[in-house]
Structure 1
Amino acid sequence: MKFINRKKEMQTLEKEFSKENSFTVIYGRRRTGKTTLIKEFIKNKNAFYFFADKQNEKIQIERFKYQMSDHFNDEFLQNIELKNWDGIFDYLISKSSSQEKLVLVIDEFQYLCMVNKEFSSIFQRIYDEKLKDSNIMLILCGSLISMMYSQVLAYDSPLYGRRTSQIRLKPIEFEYYNEFFENKNQRELIEYYSVTGGIPKYIQEFNKEESILWNIENNIFNNNNFLYSEPKFLLQEEISDLSRYFSILQAISNGDTKMSAIASRLSLNSSSLTPYISKLIELDILKREIPVTENINNSKKTLYYIKDNYLAFWFNYVYPYQSYLEIDNLRFPMEKLKSNFNLWISKAYERLCLDSILKDEKIPFPLMKTGRWWDKNDEIDVVGLGEDKIIFGECKWSEKHVGLNVLYQLKEKSKKVKWKNGIREEFFILYSKSGFSDDLIKLAKEDSKIILNDF
């Protein structure tokens, strides 16, 4: 699969490469393409790449030694006994040239910290005494977010303050999906995004010549495919009580998005759920959301949703039907999926519209804050706040043209939003996958405060 996007990350790495002293940390959830990014960066550079694993430390030192022997074409090194990491890095530094910089990559760094709890401190000393003043660019990469925080990024970690840059690699943005699926139209791209959520590994697994429903049936619903058990694999190393976390995610996928509703569903006290919810937010799986005009500390209106599209899809359409899928009975799960799939895509479409508003050049003022708004009876899909201007948006994933009635309904709902009443200037933006009625298009041409977007 060709290398797509990641321009900002590549620019950061190239900038770090030009420095005399460079220590970059790359981290993020699995499958986002961290290793692919690194391999693309070092492709034409003098680089040594080591992939750590869960074997004991002695075996990993030996493996490191043999990889160096092969890399530097030094057969003599194979017969030298290196008992500790100091010897490993002394040799590596001796092979680094003052003329040509060496890029040293340790991938899945957290595993070295798992097999030896003191490794982070050992590596901190080695970095300070040896690597810091060498002609080596250091890259540490890791997938276990909690361990990368505790061992490398956190204030009380031994390596805190050493890094010169960090990259938290996020999923690919939707605007690049047409480079993955070159023969798909906008609707099809949104369908694929609603399930894969910008994770390169998932995109790679899909047959790009087939429909999204075909791919779900033959890949996600296939109990021999890695996608079928992916959420369990993603979470089992980060958390210990998998069943409790899965119960929370299942409750949220069922529509229990308030803390009190989740607690009620699980017959627990809300306070006992707080550490679990916080952990899921830390892992970039859940997102806490409040109405955009509310204070962040207002917990009464807080909702939680599953941030990752694939995990959200899995908990809606795989986890509840595993008893069918395990015996290859796909008919009932597929019927349930087809009956709700348009609604599923519409929710992803709303998130895409909200994400796109910050880059929308049609909006005539800078936005300081964006989000959704709701109260007990109404909801507005998109709201953007300027200094004294506000824009309200509605997203319609429908086969019909969006007409004036949608605009008028949006204006009525906007009156309930309490934000700088009396001094604010209001704008309205409508999103539609199927276009707009002629009378709405005519009105938008006459009124610059009405924006139409056929995103």
Structure 2
Amino acid sequence: MDYIIKRSEAQMISREKSWLMVYGRRKTGKTFLLRNFCKFDAYFLVKKDLSVFSGESRITIDEMKKMAKELLVAGKSVAIDEFQRLDESFLEEFTVIHPKGKLVVSGSSMRIVKKLFEPNSALLGFFTPVKIGFISPGNALRELKGKLRPAEAIELAVFIREPWLIPLYNGENIVDFVHKVITNSKFIISSLLGEIFSEEERELSRKYQAILRLVGSGIWNTKELASILYSRGIIPDSSVTHILQYLKNLEEMELVESIKIYNSKSNFYRLSSPIMNIYYYLDSRYDISSREISKEEAKPTLEKLINLEIQNFIADLFAEKEGGRKEYYISPEKEFDFIITKRNRLEIVGEVKWKKAESKDVEKFCEAAQHLPGKKVVIFRQGKAESSINAEDIMSG
């Protein structure tokens, strides 16, 4: 079953007149977005063997360079996808043409992206960066509205924010779908670092993989992360300073998400990708990278993990709609699923009850959160109570 999700980023890219560098981690739909939702006078895709596709034709890099320059001088628009596969001097030849026409380059290499915007870069100032992350919660839900029952639409939207998962969905329930993906696509999930790193950075990649696995297994605290990495000989000592830049880089590439803990200087780290989060957690418990796991064996843990991802998705949706920031509330006495702040002012305290829920759950939550300012909201899968909304309300909102 296929869904074509219209993304708000397409309008921004099409509307912008300046030269752009579109970037983001692999499998976020950059190529699909550029080819299907943005209009260019010429679109070039650079393959790994350094051949170039232009429409249905295969051309050389020199031919692409000549065509692109001529079009830009004529005031036309040109897109070069997977530009990081080209020699670094390639784009420097285009600077003499700037700002004629509109040049959009797209890639997923962290090294190239960072180098492009270094203070001494020859390309600094020629391109405006445009980050392509996951599909927004609102865009995903708009596509599914009326096509699935409200609760099922929300459950599926959690995962199809990652475009590569869309063609894999065949109408099954969410537990069956997630089990199918982690079973059949484990090599895709574990290789999402992919072209972020070049060949000479494999040792660096090993450190990033170790961090991803730990965060995916549920280790969210930087002190605990650093301690485990040190015990495994991956960093020279247990100081958190050794991992902060790695976490920052992973966050920039939308592999890791940093969530502020309310009224604290600490952050909660989790994997940005729901399917990646579930895969690495299950791998830490069941070693699924080395063996097959049946749905029956995985189901209790899968249901728990899927509910956590639904909770996080709903928090993102509230943040998007309110124009606020998602934060967590964690204290020794109590935790709340999410809060939304605006300009450091608490606006919403939220609790997600996606399984069976009753009025007493709302009463218990409101009593526990009464010391906090802001609106109190409980989200049910179905059913209704005072101070609560359900899946149908979300889809109609």
TM-score, with length taken from structure 1: 0.71
Q: List per-residue Cα deviations over 1:158-182 (Å, max 9, x = no partner).
A: 211112x432112123332463586
> Which residue in 1 is equivalent to 2:189?
231
User: What is the CA–CA distance in structure 2 between the aligned matches of 1:305 and 1:341, rounded to whole Å?
Assistant: 17
Larger Rg: 1
User: What is the CA–CA distance in structure 1 between the aligned matches of 2:37 and 2:361, rounded to whole Å?
Assistant: 52
User: What is the CA–CA distance in structure 1 between the aligned matches of 2:131 and 2:244, rounded to whole Å?
Assistant: 25
| Cα separation, partners in 2 of 1:143 and 1:180, compared to 1, 3 Å | farther
| Cα separation, partners in 2 of 1:212 and 1:432, compared to 1, 3 Å | closer
| Cα separation, partners in 2 of 1:192 and 1:270, compared to 1, 3 Å | farther
> Which residue in 2 is equivalent to 1:411?
367
Contact 1:145–1:283 (Cα < 8 Å) also in 2: yes
Tell me which amino acid in the other structure corresponds to 1:102: K
User: What is the CA–CA distance in structure 1 between the aligned matches of 2:255 and 2:99, rounded to whole Å?
Assistant: 39
> Which residue in 2 is equivalent to 1:371?
327
Secondary structure at 1:269 match in 2: coil
Q: Any residues of structure 2 matched to 1:155-170 within 5 Å, and which? A: 155-163=119-127, 165-170=128-133
Contact 1:206–1:219 (Cα < 8 Å) also in 2: no
> Which residue in 2 is equivalent to 1:128?
95
> Which residue in 2 is equivalent to 1:448?
none
Secondary structure at 1:237 match in 2: helix
Matched, 1:206 2:169: yes
> Which residue in 2 is equivalent to 1:399?
356
Matched, 1:313 2:281: no
Contact 2:328–2:337 (Cα < 8 Å) also in 1: yes
The equivalent position to 1:31 in structure 2, one of 14, 27, 33, is 27
* Offset, 1:291: 1.8
Contact 2:43–2:55 (Cα < 8 Å) also in 1: no
Q: List per-residue Cα deviations over 1:73-92 (Å, max 9, x = no partner).
A: xxxxx9xxx9x95x864555
Contact 2:217–2:284 (Cα < 8 Å) also in 1: no
User: Once the two structures are aligned, what percentage of the paired residues are identical?
Assistant: 20
Q: Any residues of structure 2 matched to 1:327-366 within 5 Å, and which? A: 329-331=292-294, 334-358=295-319
The equivalent position to 1:453 in structure 2, one of 372, 389, 395, is 389
Secondary structure at 1:392 match in 2: strand
| Cα separation, partners in 2 of 1:2 and 1:169, compared to 1, 3 Å | same
* Offset, 1:48: 2.2
| Cα separation, partners in 2 of 1:128 and 1:199, compared to 1, 3 Å | same
Q: Any residues of structure 2 matched to 1:264-283 within 5 Å, and which? A: 264-266=227-229, 267=231, 269-271=238-240, 272-283=242-253
* Offset, 1:50: 1.9
Secondary structure at 2:378 match in 1: strand
The equivalent position to 2:151 in structure 1, one of 187, 198, 218, is 187
Contact 1:42–1:103 (Cα < 8 Å) also in 2: no
> Which residue in 1 is equivalent to 2:5?
4
> Which residue in 1 is equivalent to 2:234?
none
* Offset, 1:315: 0.4
* Offset, 1:319: 6.2
Matched, 1:247 2:206: no
User: What is the CA–CA distance in structure 2 between the aligned matches of 1:52 and 1:343, rounded to whole Å?
Assistant: 42
Matched, 1:105 2:79: yes
Tell me which amino acid in the other structure corresponds to 2:154: I
| Cα separation, partners in 2 of 1:359 and 1:311, compared to 1, 3 Å | closer
User: What is the CA–CA distance in structure 1 between the aligned matches of 2:5 and 2:209, rounded to whole Å?
Assistant: 33
User: What is the CA–CA distance in structure 2 between the aligned matches of 1:133 and 1:156, rounded to whole Å?
Assistant: 20
TM-score, with length taken from structure 2: 0.81
User: What is the CA–CA distance in structure 1 between the aligned matches of 2:389 and 2:102, rounded to whole Å?
Assistant: 45
Q: List per-residue Cα deviations over 1:149-208 (Å, max 9, x = no partner).
A: 323x34433211112x432112123332463586432332333344x351111121222x
User: What is the CA–CA distance in structure 2 between the aligned matches of 1:247 and 1:214, rounded to whole Å?
Assistant: 28
Tell me which amino acid in the other structure corresponds to 2:129: Q
User: What is the CA–CA distance in structure 2 between the aligned matches of 1:158 and 1:346, rounded to whole Å?
Assistant: 48
* Offset, 1:396: 1.2
Secondary structure at 1:221 match in 2: helix
Query: What is the RMSD computed on CA atoms of the aligned residues?
Result: 3.4
| Cα separation, partners in 2 of 1:31 and 1:182, compared to 1, 3 Å | farther
Q: List per-residue Cα deviations over 1:15-74 (Å, max 9, x = no partner).
A: 23xx4xx3122111112111111112455x5x222222344xxxx4xx55x959969xxx
Tell me which amino acid in the other structure corresponds to 2:389: N
Secondary structure at 2:148 match in 1: coil
User: What is the CA–CA distance in structure 2 between the aligned matches of 1:68 and 1:282, rounded to whole Å?
Assistant: 32
Unaligned runs of 5+ in 2: 232-236, 392-397
Contact 1:30–1:234 (Cα < 8 Å) also in 2: yes
Secondary structure at 1:380 match in 2: strand
| Cα separation, partners in 2 of 1:389 and 1:367, compared to 1, 3 Å | farther
User: What is the CA–CA distance in structure 2 between the aligned matches of 1:293 and 1:265, rounded to whole Å?
Assistant: 27
* Offset, 1:110: 0.8
> Which residue in 1 is equivalent to 2:336?
380
State the aligned residue count.
Answer: 376
The equivalent position to 2:45 in structure 1, one of 47, 51, 63, is 51
User: What is the CA–CA distance in structure 2 between the aligned matches of 1:303 and 1:386, rounded to whole Å?
Assistant: 19
* Offset, 1:108: 0.6
User: What is the CA–CA distance in structure 2 between the aligned matches of 1:9 and 1:315, rounded to whole Å?
Assistant: 29
| Cα separation, partners in 2 of 1:409 and 1:277, compared to 1, 3 Å | same
| Cα separation, partners in 2 of 1:317 and 1:189, compared to 1, 3 Å | farther
The equivalent position to 1:304 in structure 2, one of 254, 260, 269, is 269
* Offset, 1:148: 1.8
> Which residue in 1 is equivalent to 2:395?
none
